[in-house]
Each structure stands twice: as C-alpha cells, then as structure tokens.
Structure 1
Amino acid sequence: MEKIIQITAGRGPAECTWVVAQVLKKMLDEAQQSGLEATVLQRQAGTENGTVETATIGLKGSGVPDFTASWIGSIQWIGQSQFRKMHKRKNWFIRVFEIERGTAFEMNETDIRYQAMRSSGAGGQHVNKVSSAVRATHLPTGISAVAMDSRSQHQNKKLATERLKQKLESENLRQLQGQVGKEWENQLNVQRGNPVRTFTGTDFKKAKTEKNHKAIRKKMKQNLQSNEYN
C-alpha cells in the first residue's frame, strides 16, 4: 500500500510553519516505529530557521491506511509563540491531507518495443555495417531511450532499458510535483477546529485526550454496589 500526504501551514504565520516542522519530525519517527517506509518527496522551508511551510511524504507499507487516518485533518498546537514573545495567541493550526496520485507509469517488459539501429559517430567500419544500437520505446507513453555505447547489441539493449526506466521515473516525479502544486493551491486556507491531534508546549508533547477507562470502570462498579445496597 502506498499513499502520499502533505503537511501544510497554508497562509498561517511563522508559528504555523514551526508546527509543520515539528509534525514532520513526529510523523517520520512514528512511521519508522510502525515499520513503514517514509520518504520526504518535497520540503519547502519557511522564513524562520528550522521552519517548514509545506512538506510532502510518500508512505509505503501494510499499515499505511491506519497510519494516514490517524494524521489526516487539522493539527493543533497549544503554546506560546516562538517568534513573538508578547503575542497573546496560543492556539495554532496546520493541516495534513492526502494527495491523490495521478497515473503512475510502470515499466513492464510487454510494454517496451525494441528497435535495432545503426550506430553513428566515431568507431570505424564496424558502426556502419552492424546494427548494434538499440532504441527502447515505452508504448503506453511513447517515451523512448537510445543506447549505442557498446558494440554489443545485448549490452545496448540493457542500457536503453535502464535509461527508459529513468525517463519514466522522471515523468512520474514531474506529474507528482504538478499534483502537489495543485493540491497546495486548494489547501491555502487551513481549516481550524476539530483537530485529529493536539500538541502542547515547546517540547511538542501530544496532549492526552484518551479517557481514563480504569477510573470509569471503578466508578461504574461503585454505582452498582451502591444500587445493590439501596
């Protein structure tokens, strides 16, 4: 399972970009602890040292759906501004959302057409008589790559395939960057309220929102005993 998520401060002030940087660290640490593969695909620094305006992360692993579900939404930080000591505001919001992947091109052997070509350039009579160069074309996209480095057609085929793979990866990255930019435009206004996670203080500790089930069970037991005596 693979997903791409983005952390953004939107139009928020420097304090929000500081929160993005902290959330990015927390998310990467938590992904590692969960056994997921996390890769920072894009990171845009904020105006202040150590801050991040937006970051895009690629996640891989069987636990990705549950992991992303626990992060997607508004993130709240409660704390004093790191940059404006006299500022009264103590509630800062950023947002985490999923980026829908576009069409990712995969390279399957059945989708590649190979064409033998005559090599050109220096090399003596051999290059004029033997079709040792190879053009590899990815049929679904029309992207192609040529190799004529070796006198061996087999070796050139291998090189052309590797270069084609690199071109497809570059095209996938280009499309992803375009999608990230589109999503960024759509998410400039970060929503506040109903945070999925809340952190506090300069140490950025997660606020405890879990109910104390032990205390609840104890209270229910006391009520039952009281009812038995009544």
Structure 2
Amino acid sequence: MKTKIIQISAGKGPLECTFVVAKVLKIFLKELVNNNIEYTILYKENGIENGTIQSVSMQLKGNQLADFLQYWIGSIQWIGNSSFRKYNKRKNWFIGCFEIDVSHSLEMNENEIQFQAIRSSGAGGQHVNKVSSAVRAKHLKTGLQVLVMDSRSQHQNKKTAIKILQEKVANFNVEHTKEQIKNQWKNHQEIQRGNPVRVFTGIDFKQTKKDKSFKGKRNQLKNDLKKEIE
C-alpha cells in the first residue's frame, strides 16, 4: 500500500481562495472514500472567516494513489461570484494541490542503537545497587536516548528501552514531517493560474463536463482496452 502526503492550499490568494479550499476539500475527501483510499488529516490552518481553510495537509494510503492523484495534483479553478465582496467582478479563483516529499523519514534499526549497562539506583536493596541491570539506550542517527531501570532483568530493560526509542523515533518523524510541511508551504505560496486539473463552477461546486472523475476515467480506459482486445 502506497503512502503520500498531500497539501491543498490557497497560497497567497485572497479570502475567496480559502473558501474554495474548504469546498474542494469536501469533494476530495468524498472521492478518497469512493476509491477506498485511507486518509489522515495531519495539519489544518483555518482561514479568517468561518468555514474557510488556508491550507490542509493529509496523509493518504492506497493501492492506486498515483492514478488518483494525477487528476488532482496541480492548480484547481473555481468559477463563481465572491460571497465576501459583493461588488467584486472577478469570477476565476485558483488554489493548489501539491505532493509533499517525506522520503527522509527514519526507520529505526536495532543495530543503530548503542546500549550501556549501568547500576540501578533507588529502592530495591543491595541487589539493585550492585548489579548493572539498568540500561541506557541511544539512537545514533537522532541522538535520542532513554534510561530504563524498571526491571531487575537487564534483558527486559533492554527490550523496554527499544520499545520506548521506537516511539520516540516515530514522534521525531511526525515532527520532521510537520517541519517539511511548513517549509513546503512557503514554497507553495504562489499558485499557478491557468491550465487547471479540475474546474468547478457555481456555489454548488459542480465540475465542468470536460473534467470527469478519476473513477469515470478509469472505467473509460478499461472499456477502451476491452475494445482493442476484441
């Protein structure tokens, strides 16, 4: 199952673009469900008006992500009148859908952990003070470390230390991903106008007829393939 991080953003666009992001997000999530793609919202920055979104980032998991996203990655256009500025004559608004590269996430291997056996301290009598049962474990790539002395067994403390370090490295990856999202948000401030991958119109956000859904295009390709085989 493939995993990707996607960001839908209004960039430096006006208030109307944050309205479009909120509307498009609902459509995007609905299509994810229809195509059996799992999603998790990682970060969302709301706009200044109720019901608007400046930017939203999410993690997607599915077997056909590449096919699905080719009809979403790029600029997205909404053709409609502003509901915030009554006399604004502009009718074309653009937002962007981007893929965020998180290929640098770390996977923790036990051979990257440095262990040090030390004497435990605290309650437990002479056995605790004399036997080096406590374990200090350090993940060399991140510098994260943990001291475990819960058990009188050095082996058990080592297993506990590994588990705690795994959680710490996972949290490190989450924070690293958030930082990447913030950095790439700066890169995505400018939204390309023109040549949109999706076009929606009106207050009900209907798609223009020329832009079929991913599912419809996939079915069309299957039908074309059948005709060629026959």
Whether TM-score is above 0.5 comes out as: yes
Answer with 181-190 or 139-148: which moved more: 139-148
1:205 equivalent in structure 2:
206
- By how many angstroms is 1:123 displaced? 3.5
Rounded Cα–Cα distance in structure 1 between residues aligned with 2:37 and 2:143: 34
Tell me whether 1:138 sits opposite 2:139 in the alignment.
yes
- Give the Cα–Cα distance (whole angstroms) in 2 for the partners of residues 152 and 21 of structure 1: 54
SS of the aligned residue for 2:125 comes to coil
The answer as to whether partners of 1:20 and 1:52 remain within 8 angstroms in 2 is: yes
TM-score between both structures, scaled by the size of structure 1: 0.83
Give the count of matched residue pairs.
Answer: 211
Q: 1:177-196 alignment to 2 at 5 Å?
A: 177-196=178-197
| SS at 1:49 equivalent | coil
Matches of 2:8 and 2:133, distance apart in 1: 49
Structure-2 change in CA distance of 1:41 and 1:153 (3 Å): same
Give the match for residue 58 of structure 1.
59
The one-letter code matched in structure 2 to 1:13 is P
Runs of 4+ in 1 over 6 A off after TM superposition: none
* Alignment correspondent of 2:43: 42
Whether the aligned pair in 2 keeps the contact of 1:21 and 1:51 (CA below 8 Å) is yes
For structure 1, the residue ranges without an aligned partner over 5 or more in a row are: 212-230
Query: Alignment partner of 2:123: what SS?
Result: coil
User: CA shift at 1:136, angstroms?
Assistant: 2.6
1:163 and 2:144 aligned: no
Query: Tell me, what secondary structure is at the counterpart of 1:157?
Result: helix
Which residue in 1 is equivalent to 2:125?
A: 124
Distance 2:45 2:114 in 1: 39
| Shift, 1:137, TM fit | 2.6
User: How far apart are the structure 1 equivalents of 2:108 and 2:64?
Assistant: 26
Whether the 8 Å CA contact 1:102–1:179 is kept in 2: the answer is no
Please give the alpha-carbon distance, in whole angstroms, between the structure 2 residues aligned to 1:134 and 1:82.
62
Identity level (%)? 56
Alignment of 1:24-103 (within 5 A): 24-103=25-104
Which residue does the alignment assign to 1:8? Answer: 9
Match for residue 105 of structure 1?
A: 106
Instruction: Give me the whole-angstrom Cα distance separating, in 2, the residues matched to 1:36 and 1:210.
Output: 21
Corresponding residue SS for 2:158: helix
Larger Rg: 1
Amino acid of the residue matched to residue 201 of structure 2?
T
Q: 1: distance between equivalents of 2:70 and 2:132?
A: 55
Letter of the 2:129 partner, please give it: N
Contact kept, 8 Å, 1:111 with 1:140, in 2: the verdict is yes
Q: Distance in 2 between matches of 1:175 and 1:102?
A: 11
Q: Which runs of 5+ in 2 are unaligned?
A: 213-230
Cα deviation, residue 210, structure 1: 5.2
Shift of 1:102: 4.5
Q: Deviations over 1:58-93 (max 9, x none)?
A: 112221111221111100111221222332222111
**Aligned residue identity for 2:106:** F
1:155/1:206 CA distance change after superposition, 3 Å:
farther
Are the counterparts in 2 of residues 75 and 95 from structure 1 also a CA contact under 8 Å?
yes
Q: Is the 8 A contact 2:199 2:211 kept in 1?
A: no
SS at match of 1:203: coil
